[in-house]
Structure 1
């Protein structure tokens, strides 16, 4: 466990720039050659230099295919990048705190940029200002200037609801406990559809009604992507135009322990993320 407490030193690598991490080199174990036997040459070199040889301790219990899977996982981990982030996380941060700014509605117009730390009291808004901002919002939607991002990357493991076989939180029809038995994703998508319909009706007396196109970006993860996409497809995208819905997976990376070691999640080469 030298990784968490040793000071930095320079490691020479085959890259153009040496990497500096510890003042005292990690002491390799006596059985290092046995642990690295069968590893591709580049992977073995990276494991030596980053000190992540403990990830191979389970090889004695692995079949040949499982061992190859473990090596692939180690190659995909980006061990140098992980170690760089670990060292950055160890550096103390100087944090400052600024009290939120209360913004008067008189100072808010169509060009106002909302930023972090601004507070708006809805109770203080006048009816005229509210109507004006709503008109601006409807116009922005009709002009295709508004998009929505839905976050659906979280699984239900923290809630302990139904185990790993249960659908993700956003797709779960039982967890919100609504009489309609609708999932959170369905409720949100139906609100987006309704907003598009209202925006079309707002102008239909002046111009032919055109349904507003509101892009919906759905962020998933490798834990939820398949289930989320399947629910959208099975439910006809909840009334949204399929061309307006885009799915993308959030990146995930392995976690390191306080000692800077990879945290194995299974013997087959999966690491905690």
Structure 2
């Protein structure tokens, strides 16, 4: 995704979230609105950082690009710093403004989404770290399966970030349902890797790293689904009243 499009996304979120408090003085209303806008702008900006980290980590893995993997690891601190800034902004809004109704949901979901994005950044960093280890070994054919998983996860992240900026419940729910696709890919790959390790014990170490990378991608899909649920709550004021879809699992749940 281009930098221009990410800037548009960051600018779009605040514009869709203004609510005037007629019981407040004008200067207080303006300050409150600016603080809400600032929070949402930072969430959108952080989303762009997480999106870049994921895409570059997946590219580093696929291309066996050591330099790019190291860059992903080094830049993770920017995502952590953005999460801390959003947390401070949210705490300040809770303490000084006591938001209610829609505004309360804006602050709460912004804070929660930032937490999900921080975890996505950590998982992208872990993918990059394991890629560095795999770069020292012979390539494994099953990396193509992880590439496919990664493309789905990356698409889901882009969709939920756009849905947040546009307050698009339908798009968010689409991602929520689509998490089953990532789970199905992970379960299939888990079985393939187990077979691969049993057939050639020399590949156990590399296959284990591949399995962890696949699990990281699967977890990123879960975090995108969490964000989709927060968007649904932000816009409607209600939780998604259905059980989260999951593919039948052949792999152990270590969550």
TM-score w.r.t. length of structure 2? 0.26
Q: Which has the higher strand share?
A: 1
Greater Rg, structure 1 or structure 2?
A: 1
Q: TM-score, normalised by structure 1?
A: 0.25
